[in-house]
Amino acid sequence: MNKAIIGRKAGMTQLFAPDGKMIPVTVVEAGPCPVVQVKTVESDGYTALKLGFDEIVSKGKKQAEKKENLNYNISRPDYGQFKKAGVTPCKVLKEVRLENVDSYKVGDFVKADVFAAGDRVDVSGVSKGHGFTGVIKKWNQHRLKETHGVGPVHREPGSMGSISDPSRVFKHKHLAGQWGVENVTVQNLEVVKVDTARNAILIKGAIPGPRGSVVTISNSVKQKEN
């Protein structure tokens, strides 16, 4: 990828095209993201940017120098990275792999205007959590028959396999369990509008995660053919 930014999912709304067609969009508060570190092939073996997002307001307490990170309620290693870069500490610190980092230096800001309307992007985030769910809700399986002789449970997963051989349940069988809270990437989404004044990117369709969750937007690695 050659451009990326960190943002927060604000929610969904809709826009209307000039022809009157309604377009569902997700609003993402994208950046500004300060560049905390620039990684190059010479120094690190690969190229990447370490970006911050959502600046933390200092508590204003007078702490000793060794406890200065407590003013921002972050760990000392993270605080050390921000301090070395001369950047205000942020709640989110994330690395994005980019091919060309020569145009960036520590202290620069990556803003929403790195993308433009019509760009194809991939959005990564943590999906919504649904708790412990059964096989019907999690895997879209069918109910058992409601006739006599079946039951008393009609939403169970059904047969687990043979009795004597192999005498175990095979791996990867679709069973009940935790659903959601997974890293998900939705590819080939279209940027409908970029509002530089509000640092907002409006993306067509839905993206992973609940409102308020942190997402990463990057240019699409698989361009969709029209």
pLDDT per residue as tens digits for the range 39-98: 888 888 889 999 999 888 766 555 544 566 566 677 888 888 888 888 888 888 999 998
- Domain extents in the chain: 4-130+182-219, 134-180
Whole-number pLDDT of residue 10: 92
Average pLDDT over residues 198-216: 93
What is the C-alpha separation between 108 and 102, in angstroms, rounded?
A: 12
Token pair of 174, please? 């679709």
What is the C-alpha separation between 185 and 200, in angstroms, rounded?
A: 20
Average pLDDT over residues 26-45: 89
Q: Are 97 and 1 in contact (CB under 8 A)?
A: yes
Whole-number pLDDT of residue 151: 76
What is the C-alpha separation between 58 and 60, in angstroms, rounded?
A: 5
Q: Are 2 and 219 in contact (CB under 8 A)?
A: yes
What is the C-alpha separation between 13 and 95, in angstroms, rounded?
A: 29
Average pLDDT over residues 198-213: 93
H or E element at residue 81: helix 76-85
Whole-number pLDDT of residue 64: 46
Whole-number pLDDT of residue 44: 84
Options 3.40.50.2300, 2.40.30.10, 3.30.450.20, 3.40.50.300; CATH of 4-130+182-219:
2.40.30.10
Q: How many residues make up the chain in this entry?
A: 226
